[in-house]
Structure 1
Amino acid sequence: MSDSDLEARIIELETRLSHFDIAMNDMSMMIKQQWDRIDILERRNHLLSEDIKRMNSFITTAPEDDVPPPHY
Structure 2
Amino acid sequence: MTVQSMEARIDALEEKIAYQDQVIDDLNTAVTDQWKEIETMRRLVANLLDEVKEMELAARATPGREPPPPHY
| TM-score (normalised: structure 2) | 0.88
- Aligned equivalent of 1:10: 10
Match of 1:24 in 2: 24
- CA RMSD in angstroms comes to 1.4
Percent identical pairs in the alignment equals 26
5+ residue gaps, structure 2: none
CA–CA distance in structure 2, aligned partners of residues 4 and 56 of structure 1: 77
- Alpha-carbon distance in 2 for matches of 1:21, 1:66: 67
> Structure 1 regions of 5+ residues with no counterpart?
none
Structure 1 runs of 4+ aligned residues shifted over 3 Å read none
Measure the CA separation in 1 of the matches of 2:37 and 2:3. 51
